[in-house]
Every structure is written in C-alpha cells, then in structure tokens.
Amino acid sequence: MLRNSLSRLLQSRRITEPARNVMVLSSLASQKFGMCIPVSQSSFITNTLWSTAYLPNTMPQYTSKRYSSTDASLFKRFIKKMGLLKYSRTKLKRSGFLLYSDLTEKVRVDEFVEVCELPDTFYSWFLVTELHIWMLMVRLMAEGNEGRFTRNALIEALWEDADARSKKLGAASLSIRKEQMEAINSSFQAALFGYDEALIEDDRVLAGALWRRLFSKKCEDPERLECCVHYVRRQIALLDSLSREEILMDCKVKWVPLLERD
C-alpha cells in the first residue's frame, strides 16, 4: 500500500497540505488523524543538533547590481519571517514519503529484535521504526517550515504503512483495529516527549528512555541497552552532518549498523 501511495504521490501535480498551524518547537508532533497538539514554550529546545536556530544559508544568491548585500539580507529575513518555502509543498511531501521508504528498506528491524531480545511482533516493528522516525524528525526540525512540512509527511507515511500492516495481521474488526491504532498513536506521542528530553541530557537519561520504550522495561543485560544508546548518538551525529539539500531533496540517509564492526 505504501508503494502505491508513493507511486500516486510521485505522479500527482497537486497534493493536499497536511495539518496547518503546527505549534511544535521540537521534534514533537501529534498526528492523530491529522490533528496536532500545542507544545508549551518551555518545550523549546536550543541544542544545536536540532534547534531551529541551526539553519544553513538557503536563500539564492542575488548577483544583480540592483541589490546591495544589505538589500539581499533584508529580503532573506522577510522571506524567513513570512514562512515562505524554497521548495514546493508537493516536493516536500514527496520527500517525507521517500525518507520513510528509504528507512524501511535500510533499517534492519530483525537485528534490533535479536540484539534487544524483542518479541517478533507488529508492536516490536513499530517500536524500532518509531525510534528511527524520531531521529529523522529531530534532523528535519532544524530546517524550519520546510522541515516541519516534510516531518508531517513522514509521519503520515508511517501511519499509512502501520495501518496497512495491521490489516494483514488477522480478521480483527474495524473498531478493534482502530482502537488499537489509537492506543499506539497515544503512546507514540508520549515516546517523542521522552526521547526529546533524553537527547539533551546525558547517556543515563537516554538509556532510561530506551529502556522504558524500546525495551518495554524488560532488559536484564545492560550491554544491550548501552549498545542502543551508542547507536542513537552515532546516528544523530550522522544525520546532523547532512546538508539541507541532502535531507530535504535527496532523501537518501545512511543508517549506521546497530553493532559496530571491528
């Protein structure tokens, strides 16, 4: 179903914009059936790994003699203040879906299931995918309005795929499946808060967030937990090294292996 969605998306000329007025200051984004929740000002994150203050110069260079450097700078600030986008919404939404497709093809969920000793279930797949979605969201939120728009499309792709996978699990009624997906969505929102808070703290806090969410509070081997902490730190650093063009348009992300090879 995701492949069909991507195919239609790539061929379409006009795509409906996702939820407007997203009052989100970190990676956090409630996407429960297109709705978003406001986040208080205290949730603003200033760490340069993900803060919206970490913005490269993305405006085109004006070489015409009609514009002085001061005029160009004022124009750039005006564009930024107005929230105008350099890339079209169609391209950004396509980027969100392509980032998700690239993630599902490259991330070894089975490796996480083995290393973290997770049960081989739909919920374990979701927890592993959720962790990687969150890391992409952190990086995208460094790109202002265009990053937020792409992030929303990324989450939309996640829920489309999750819904398609849940339909293949059995003959559960629509009402039961909807209730289960709503419960997962609610826990997804809470997990984003936990991961965001942990990322700006030390490894102990991040380990606690992973233990509560990814391991579901079931981990007797601290080395397995430590492995995941190091994985998140390495992957966040790699994502941070990507340029604006690479994350928003190229949509090709390198995912480091969970286990470091000698």
- What is the predicted pLDDT for the residue at 183? 92
| String of DSSP letters for the chain | -HHHHHHHHHH-S------S----SSS----BTTB-----GGG----TTT-TT-----SPPP--TT--HHHHHHHHHHHHHHT--SS-HHHHHHHHHHHHHHHHHHS-HHHHHHHTT--SSHHHHHHHHHHHHHHHHHHHGGGHHHHHHHHHHHHHHHHHHHHHHHHTS----HHHHHHHHHHHHHHHHHHHHHHHHHHTS-HHHHHHHHHHHTSTT----HHHHHHHHHHHHHHHHHHHTS-HHIIIII-------SSPP-
- What is the predicted pLDDT for the residue at 208? 95
- What is the predicted pLDDT for the residue at 167? 86
Q: Would the CA dihedral through 123, 129, 131, 133 be positive or negative?
A: negative
- What is the predicted pLDDT for the residue at 86? 79
The answer to whether 111 touches 259, Cβ cutoff 8 Å, is: yes
- What is the predicted pLDDT for the residue at 67? 37
Per residue in 56-110, pLDDT (tens digit) is 333 333 333 333 445 545 655 555 445 556 788 899 999 999 999 999 999 999 9
Of 235, 65, 221, give the one whose Cα is nearest residue 135. Answer: 235
- What is the predicted pLDDT for the residue at 149? 94
Q: From CA 260, how far away is CA 106, in angstroms rounded?
A: 16
Q: From CA 54, how far away is CA 31, in angstroms rounded?
A: 25
The count of other CB atoms within 10 Å of the CB of residue 44 is 12
Per residue in 18-61, pLDDT (tens digit) is 332 322 334 443 333 233 323 333 333 333 343 323 323 333 33
For residue 32, list its beta bridge partners.
35
**Structure tokens that stand for 156 in this block:** 């939309």
Give Cα separations from 193 to 1, 61, 216 (angstroms): 29, 38, 16
Whole-model pTM over 0.75: no
The answer to whether 143 touches 56, Cβ cutoff 8 Å, is: no
- What is the predicted pLDDT for the residue at 262? 55
User: Percent of the chain, pLDDT > 70?
Assistant: 66
Per residue in 180-233, pLDDT (tens digit) is 889 999 999 999 999 999 999 999 999 999 999 999 999 889 999 999 999 999
